[in-house]
Structure 1
Amino acid sequence: MNQSPLLDYTNQLHQLMQLIGVSSFKALSQKAGVSERQIKRLRRGEVMQMQVETVLKLSSTLKMPLKDFLAAFSASQFQFIESSNKSAVLEQEYQRLQKQLAEQKVTLQQEFQQKSLQTLESWLIQWPTAAYAAQQKPEAALAVKLLPLLRPVEQLLREWGVEAIASVGVELPFDPQQHQLIKGTAQPGDLVKVTHIGYRQGEKLLYRARAIPVSSQNKN
Structure 2
Amino acid sequence: MPDNSDFTPNLQKLMQQVGISSFKALSRAAGVSERQVLRLRRFGVEQMRVDVLLRLSQILQVSLQELVATFSHQELIKAKVPQNQELLRQIADLRNEYDRLQLQLEQQRLILQQQFQQSSLQLLESLLLQFPTAAYKARENPQLSALNIIPLVQKPLEKLLQHWQVEAIAPVGAEIPYDPQFHQLMDGNAQPGEIVKVRYTGYRQGDNLLYRAKVSPHNPQKD
Give the TM-score category using the shorter length. 0.3 to 0.5
Task: Give the TM-score of the pair, scaled to structure 2.
Answer: 0.42
Task: Give the TM-score of the pair, scaled to structure 1.
Answer: 0.42
Whichever of the two has the greater Rg, that structure is 2
